[in-house]
Structure 1
Amino acid sequence: MNILRNSLAVVAASALLGLTAACSGSQTAVCEEATKAFTDYSSKAAGAAGDIKGLNAATGDLAAQLKELSGKADGDLKVALAGMADSWASFKIDLSDPAAATKLTEFGQKATQATQQLASACS
Protein backbone atom coordinates (compact mmCIF):
# COMPACT_ATOMS: atom_id res chain seq x y z
CA MET A 1 0.00 0.00 0.00
CA ASN A 2 2.74 2.46 0.93
CA ILE A 3 4.53 1.75 -2.34
CA LEU A 4 1.39 2.61 -4.33
CA ARG A 5 0.68 5.73 -2.29
CA ASN A 6 4.28 6.90 -2.50
CA SER A 7 4.36 6.24 -6.24
CA LEU A 8 1.25 8.37 -6.73
CA ALA A 9 2.85 11.14 -4.71
CA VAL A 10 5.98 10.95 -6.89
CA VAL A 11 3.91 11.18 -10.08
CA ALA A 12 2.01 14.16 -8.66
CA ALA A 13 5.25 15.84 -7.56
CA SER A 14 6.74 15.35 -11.03
CA ALA A 15 3.68 16.96 -12.56
CA LEU A 16 3.94 19.82 -10.08
CA LEU A 17 7.61 20.45 -10.91
CA GLY A 18 6.83 20.48 -14.62
CA LEU A 19 4.04 22.96 -14.12
CA THR A 20 5.98 25.24 -11.80
CA ALA A 21 8.79 25.52 -14.32
CA ALA A 22 6.45 26.06 -17.25
CA CYS A 23 3.84 28.58 -16.10
CA SER A 24 4.02 31.53 -18.44
CA GLY A 25 2.25 32.82 -21.51
CA SER A 26 -1.34 33.79 -22.12
CA GLN A 27 -2.94 31.13 -19.94
CA THR A 28 -0.85 31.60 -16.81
CA ALA A 29 -3.88 31.65 -14.50
CA VAL A 30 -5.02 28.21 -15.67
CA CYS A 31 -1.48 26.85 -15.28
CA GLU A 32 -1.31 28.28 -11.76
CA GLU A 33 -4.66 26.69 -10.89
CA ALA A 34 -3.38 23.35 -12.19
CA THR A 35 -0.26 23.74 -10.05
CA LYS A 36 -2.45 24.39 -7.01
CA ALA A 37 -4.59 21.34 -7.82
CA PHE A 38 -1.47 19.14 -7.82
CA THR A 39 -0.18 20.75 -4.60
CA ASP A 40 -3.50 20.06 -2.91
CA TYR A 41 -3.54 16.51 -4.25
CA SER A 42 -0.05 15.83 -2.93
CA SER A 43 -1.15 16.93 0.55
CA LYS A 44 -4.33 14.84 0.40
CA ALA A 45 -2.43 11.79 -0.87
CA ALA A 46 0.11 12.10 1.94
CA GLY A 47 -2.71 12.48 4.46
CA ALA A 48 -4.50 9.38 3.19
CA ALA A 49 -1.88 6.97 4.54
CA GLY A 50 -3.51 3.57 4.78
CA ASP A 51 -6.84 4.88 3.50
CA ILE A 52 -7.41 3.54 -0.02
CA LYS A 53 -10.86 5.11 -0.25
CA GLY A 54 -9.43 8.49 0.75
CA LEU A 55 -6.63 8.20 -1.77
CA ASN A 56 -9.03 7.18 -4.53
CA ALA A 57 -11.31 10.10 -3.58
CA ALA A 58 -8.38 12.54 -3.73
CA THR A 59 -7.38 11.16 -7.13
CA GLY A 60 -10.96 11.54 -8.38
CA ASP A 61 -11.08 15.11 -7.07
CA LEU A 62 -7.88 15.96 -8.93
CA ALA A 63 -9.30 14.50 -12.13
CA ALA A 64 -12.44 16.62 -11.74
CA GLN A 65 -10.39 19.78 -11.12
CA LEU A 66 -8.24 19.13 -14.18
CA LYS A 67 -11.34 18.53 -16.31
CA GLU A 68 -12.84 21.81 -15.06
CA LEU A 69 -9.59 23.64 -15.84
CA SER A 70 -9.55 22.17 -19.35
CA GLY A 71 -12.87 23.93 -19.90
CA LYS A 72 -11.20 27.25 -19.10
CA ALA A 73 -8.25 26.67 -21.43
CA ASP A 74 -7.65 26.80 -25.16
CA GLY A 75 -5.55 24.92 -27.69
CA ASP A 76 -2.70 22.73 -26.49
CA LEU A 77 -3.34 23.59 -22.85
CA LYS A 78 -6.95 22.40 -23.14
CA VAL A 79 -5.81 19.12 -24.74
CA ALA A 80 -3.10 18.56 -22.10
CA LEU A 81 -5.44 19.21 -19.18
CA ALA A 82 -8.14 16.97 -20.65
CA GLY A 83 -5.58 14.19 -21.14
CA MET A 84 -4.39 14.52 -17.57
CA ALA A 85 -7.97 14.53 -16.30
CA ASP A 86 -8.67 11.33 -18.20
CA SER A 87 -5.49 9.68 -16.89
CA TRP A 88 -6.18 10.56 -13.26
CA ALA A 89 -9.88 9.66 -13.57
CA SER A 90 -9.03 6.20 -14.86
CA PHE A 91 -6.79 5.34 -11.93
CA LYS A 92 -8.31 3.60 -8.94
CA ILE A 93 -6.28 1.58 -6.45
CA ASP A 94 -7.66 -1.89 -5.77
CA LEU A 95 -5.30 -3.89 -3.58
CA SER A 96 -7.14 -7.09 -4.45
CA ASP A 97 -6.08 -6.64 -8.08
CA PRO A 98 -2.85 -8.57 -8.71
CA ALA A 99 -2.07 -6.23 -11.62
CA ALA A 100 -2.14 -3.10 -9.41
CA ALA A 101 1.62 -2.51 -9.69
CA THR A 102 1.50 -2.85 -13.48
CA LYS A 103 -1.41 -0.43 -13.65
CA LEU A 104 0.53 2.03 -11.52
CA THR A 105 3.44 1.90 -13.97
CA GLU A 106 1.11 2.47 -16.93
CA PHE A 107 -0.59 5.30 -15.07
CA GLY A 108 2.77 6.89 -14.29
CA GLN A 109 3.72 6.81 -17.96
CA LYS A 110 0.41 8.37 -19.04
CA ALA A 111 0.64 11.06 -16.38
CA THR A 112 4.24 11.86 -17.34
CA GLN A 113 3.29 12.23 -21.02
CA ALA A 114 0.34 14.46 -20.15
CA THR A 115 2.52 16.53 -17.81
CA GLN A 116 5.05 17.07 -20.59
CA GLN A 117 2.23 18.23 -22.87
CA LEU A 118 0.98 20.54 -20.15
CA ALA A 119 4.42 22.00 -19.48
CA SER A 120 4.82 22.66 -23.20
CA ALA A 121 1.38 24.26 -23.42
CA CYS A 122 2.05 26.49 -20.42
CA SER A 123 5.41 27.73 -21.67
Structure 2
Amino acid sequence: MSINLSRYALAVSAAAILVSLTTACGGGAQPVCQDAVKAFNDYSTQAAAGAGNLEAFNKANADLAAKLKDLSDKADGDLKATLADLSATWGGIKVDPSNPAAAATELSKLGTQATDATQKLAKNCS
Protein backbone atom coordinates (compact mmCIF):
# COMPACT_ATOMS: atom_id res chain seq x y z
CA MET A 1 0.00 0.00 0.00
CA SER A 2 2.84 2.44 0.73
CA ILE A 3 3.99 2.17 -2.91
CA ASN A 4 0.55 3.28 -4.08
CA LEU A 5 0.49 6.12 -1.55
CA SER A 6 3.93 7.23 -2.69
CA ARG A 7 2.80 7.18 -6.30
CA TYR A 8 -0.26 9.33 -5.51
CA ALA A 9 1.81 11.77 -3.49
CA LEU A 10 4.30 12.08 -6.30
CA ALA A 11 1.50 12.51 -8.85
CA VAL A 12 0.14 15.43 -6.82
CA SER A 13 3.65 16.86 -6.59
CA ALA A 14 4.07 16.49 -10.34
CA ALA A 15 0.80 18.35 -10.93
CA ALA A 16 2.01 21.15 -8.68
CA ILE A 17 5.32 21.33 -10.54
CA LEU A 18 3.52 21.37 -13.87
CA VAL A 19 1.32 24.31 -12.90
CA SER A 20 4.32 26.13 -11.49
CA LEU A 21 6.13 25.82 -14.80
CA THR A 22 3.00 26.72 -16.75
CA THR A 23 2.42 29.78 -14.60
CA ALA A 24 6.02 30.89 -14.83
CA CYS A 25 6.04 30.47 -18.61
CA GLY A 26 2.68 32.16 -18.94
CA GLY A 27 4.00 35.39 -17.50
CA GLY A 28 2.70 35.49 -13.96
CA ALA A 29 3.68 39.14 -13.75
CA GLN A 30 1.66 39.63 -10.58
CA PRO A 31 3.79 39.28 -7.45
CA VAL A 32 1.07 37.11 -5.90
CA CYS A 33 1.39 34.69 -8.82
CA GLN A 34 5.14 34.54 -8.37
CA ASP A 35 4.62 33.78 -4.69
CA ALA A 36 2.08 31.08 -5.61
CA VAL A 37 4.66 29.47 -7.93
CA LYS A 38 7.14 29.47 -5.06
CA ALA A 39 4.55 27.98 -2.69
CA PHE A 40 3.84 25.15 -5.13
CA ASN A 41 7.53 24.52 -5.72
CA ASP A 42 8.11 24.37 -1.96
CA TYR A 43 5.11 22.06 -1.59
CA SER A 44 6.35 19.77 -4.36
CA THR A 45 9.65 19.34 -2.58
CA GLN A 46 8.03 18.86 0.83
CA ALA A 47 5.35 16.44 -0.43
CA ALA A 48 7.83 14.36 -2.40
CA ALA A 49 10.11 14.15 0.62
CA GLY A 50 7.18 12.88 2.71
CA ALA A 51 5.84 10.49 0.06
CA GLY A 52 6.25 7.47 2.31
CA ASN A 53 5.21 9.32 5.48
CA LEU A 54 1.57 10.39 5.67
CA GLU A 55 2.17 12.63 8.68
CA ALA A 56 4.74 14.60 6.66
CA PHE A 57 2.37 14.62 3.70
CA ASN A 58 -0.41 16.05 5.92
CA LYS A 59 1.99 18.75 7.13
CA ALA A 60 2.93 19.64 3.54
CA ASN A 61 -0.78 20.00 2.69
CA ALA A 62 -1.46 22.18 5.74
CA ASP A 63 1.56 24.37 5.03
CA LEU A 64 0.52 24.91 1.41
CA ALA A 65 -3.06 25.68 2.44
CA ALA A 66 -1.83 28.35 4.87
CA LYS A 67 0.44 29.94 2.26
CA LEU A 68 -2.34 29.97 -0.33
CA LYS A 69 -4.74 31.55 2.19
CA ASP A 70 -2.20 34.30 2.88
CA LEU A 71 -1.77 34.88 -0.85
CA SER A 72 -5.53 34.99 -1.34
CA ASP A 73 -5.71 37.78 1.20
CA LYS A 74 -3.25 39.79 -0.96
CA ALA A 75 -5.06 39.20 -4.27
CA ASP A 76 -8.33 40.34 -5.76
CA GLY A 77 -10.95 39.19 -8.26
CA ASP A 78 -10.69 35.78 -9.88
CA LEU A 79 -7.15 35.27 -8.58
CA LYS A 80 -8.32 35.80 -5.00
CA ALA A 81 -11.15 33.30 -5.46
CA THR A 82 -8.88 30.74 -7.10
CA LEU A 83 -6.27 31.00 -4.34
CA ALA A 84 -9.00 30.66 -1.71
CA ASP A 85 -10.32 27.55 -3.48
CA LEU A 86 -6.82 26.08 -3.66
CA SER A 87 -6.32 26.79 0.04
CA ALA A 88 -9.60 25.08 0.89
CA THR A 89 -8.72 22.09 -1.29
CA TRP A 90 -5.34 21.49 0.29
CA GLY A 91 -6.55 22.47 3.75
CA GLY A 92 -9.28 19.83 3.51
CA ILE A 93 -6.83 17.01 2.87
CA LYS A 94 -5.85 15.15 5.99
CA VAL A 95 -4.93 11.54 5.43
CA ASP A 96 -5.38 9.15 8.35
CA PRO A 97 -2.18 7.07 8.54
CA SER A 98 -4.08 4.30 10.36
CA ASN A 99 -6.47 3.81 7.41
CA PRO A 100 -4.39 3.23 4.26
CA ALA A 101 -7.39 2.29 2.10
CA ALA A 102 -9.09 5.61 2.82
CA ALA A 103 -5.76 7.36 2.30
CA ALA A 104 -5.44 5.98 -1.22
CA THR A 105 -8.96 7.18 -2.07
CA GLU A 106 -8.33 10.60 -0.58
CA LEU A 107 -5.02 11.01 -2.40
CA SER A 108 -6.61 10.01 -5.70
CA LYS A 109 -9.32 12.62 -5.16
CA LEU A 110 -6.67 15.22 -4.33
CA GLY A 111 -4.91 14.52 -7.61
CA THR A 112 -8.06 15.35 -9.57
CA GLN A 113 -8.82 18.44 -7.48
CA ALA A 114 -5.22 19.62 -7.74
CA THR A 115 -5.21 19.38 -11.51
CA ASP A 116 -8.47 21.33 -11.85
CA ALA A 117 -7.55 24.00 -9.33
CA THR A 118 -4.02 24.55 -10.53
CA GLN A 119 -5.23 24.97 -14.12
CA LYS A 120 -7.43 27.80 -12.86
CA LEU A 121 -4.41 29.35 -11.15
CA ALA A 122 -2.34 29.15 -14.34
CA LYS A 123 -5.19 30.82 -16.25
CA ASN A 124 -5.50 33.63 -13.70
CA CYS A 125 -1.77 34.24 -13.68
CA SER A 126 -1.16 34.20 -17.42
Q: Offset of 1:47 from its aligned partner?
A: 2.4
TM-score between both structures, scaled by the size of structure 2: 0.83
After the TM superposition, which parts of structure 1 deviate over 3 Å for at least 4 consecutive aligned residues? none
Deviation at 1:88, TM superposition (A): 0.6
* TM-score normalised by structure 1 residue count: 0.85
Give the direction of change, closer, same or farther, for the CA distance of 1:66–1:2 in structure 2 (3 Å limit).
farther
Give the Cα separation in 2 of the matches to 1:84 and 1:76.
12
* CA–CA separation in structure 2 for the residues paired with 1:80 and 1:14: 16
- Cα deviation, 1:10-64, whole Å, max 9, x if unaligned, reads 223223322322342552x111111111111122223225432222112110110
Name structure 1 gaps, 5 residues minimum. none
Asked whether the equivalents of residues 19 and 122 of structure 1 are also in contact (C-alpha less than 8 Å), the reply is: no
In the alignment, the residues of structure 2 paired with residue 43 and residue 2 of structure 1 have an alpha-carbon distance, to the nearest angstrom, of 18
- The Cα RMSD (Å) is 1.9
Write out aligned runs for 1:1-123 (5 A). Answer: 1-23=2-24, 24=27, 27=30, 29-97=31-99, 98-123=101-126
Unaligned runs of 5+ in 2: none
Give the paired residue count.
122
Same amino acid, percent of matched pairs: 48
